[in-house]
Amino acid sequence: MLSHDAAALAAYRATAEPAQTSLNISTDARRREYFCTRYFGLVDGVPVRAGGPEISAEPGSELSASIHAADLALVAIARRAAGLPLDAAEAVYLRSPDVTLRPTVTR
């Protein structure tokens, strides 16, 4: 699951009409860029991804400073309750790392 799913769930819980609301969740990606994911409402308590994640020069409508593990757990619980599979348990990288390590040469 994406950490943005947790931020989307938290934003939707604070919205009067979450099923009819679209939003863009963004997190700071450094380099004056943002990681952005678009959502359109909730279905069975699960944020519906409409696009992304992707790198953008502009933040979305919701700039999330922190992601709470409890919200991520709530997304997982909602997905299971709705009969949806969980996403693969692997990191999602949108670009290459800033730093790479050179192989160590032993003499």
Give the residue, 16 or 41, on which the prediction is more confident. 41
Domain-embedded: residue 44:
yes
pLDDT band at 95 (very low <50, low <70, confident <90, very high): low
Quote the mean pLDDT of the chain. 83
Q: What is the model's pLDDT at position 98?
A: 65
Q: Report CA 86 to chain centroid distance, whole Å.
A: 14
pTM: 0.77
What residue numbers bound the domain in which 17 lies?
Answer: 3-81
CATH number at residue 35: 3.30.420
Give the residue, 33 or 89, on which the prediction is more confident. 33
Domain-embedded: residue 104:
no
Of 40, 35, 34, 46, nearest to 9 by C-alpha is 46
Domain-embedded: residue 95:
no
Q: How many domains does the chain have?
A: 1
Distances 88 to 46, 92, 97, 100 between C-alpha atoms, Å: 16, 10, 21, 25
pLDDT digits (tens, 9 = 90+) for 31-79: 788 889 999 988 888 999 999 888 888 877 777 767 889 999 999 999 9
